[in-house]
Amino acid sequence: MGGMVFAPPAPASVAVSGTFDRFPVRRIFCVGRNYADHAREMGHDPNAEPPFFFTKPADALVPDGSTIPYPPATADFHHEAELVVAIGKSGFMVSEDQAETLIWGYAAGNDLTRRDMQAEAKAARRPWDMAKGFDRSAVVGALRPGPVDKAAMIRCIVDDDVKQEARLSDMIWSVPAVIAHLSRLVELAPGDLIMTGTPAGVGPLSRGQICAVTIDGLGPAKVTIA
């Protein structure tokens, strides 16, 4: 009888706020350009296209409070503050009205990006994988079950300076709209995370800095860059 040729890695997971429980993570989907001001700062028309998606591997997850190394192959390492949605039920081709029934909870997150590598990939019309899906590129704070205030503020604070600040209601595509659209592309399943896009103000991180993403009502997603 056959078996695994080596021990499989432990499944990726995220802490659940106020408990010792863990939320197992299957896949990480990310929404591109979901705040109008960020779309404009990246040189795009926020009204010109439906939401689009890219992915990060589940093992790119980094918990709140971690210290991570400045990544290789970049000289322009950026923060992107995001609301993270955790999916708790399967869904395929769901409507916006049905979408909220798939949500297990929410967290603060940081879609870390090798911006120079992304710019080169865009210019060459190549995939973004190595700009977005590198090791330790998905910082996610503790998940909180239940709803989130749609008027909550999302912020990115680098050391003591607020670099990004917006309301969740500033999203071009609401969370239900994002889920409904994504469910027409893939069948969503328990354990999927969706990083829902970042406000304007993305910018560089340097060694020694502390970067914290905060969302009203949720725990932080904080990292130190070594």
Task: Summarize pLDDT for 40-89 with one digit per residue, the tens.
Answer: 666 666 665 788 999 999 999 999 999 999 999 999 999 999 999 999 99
- For the entire predicted model, the pTM comes to 0.95
pLDDT of residue 42: 61
Residue 207 CB neighbours (<10 A): 10
Residue 102 CB neighbours (<10 A): 23
Structure tokens belonging to residue 219: 């725990």
Q: For 10-32, how does the pLDDT look when each residue is reduced to its tens digit (9 = 90+)?
A: 999 999 999 999 999 999 999 98
Q: Sort strands 22-24 and 13-15 into parallel, antiparallel or unpaired.
A: antiparallel
Helix (H, G, I), strand (E, B) or coil at 98: helix
Maximum Cα–Cα distance across the chain: 59
Residue 158 contacts by C-beta under 8 Å, 6 or more apart in sequence?
79, 203, 205, 209, 210, 211
Helix (H, G, I), strand (E, B) or coil at 58: helix
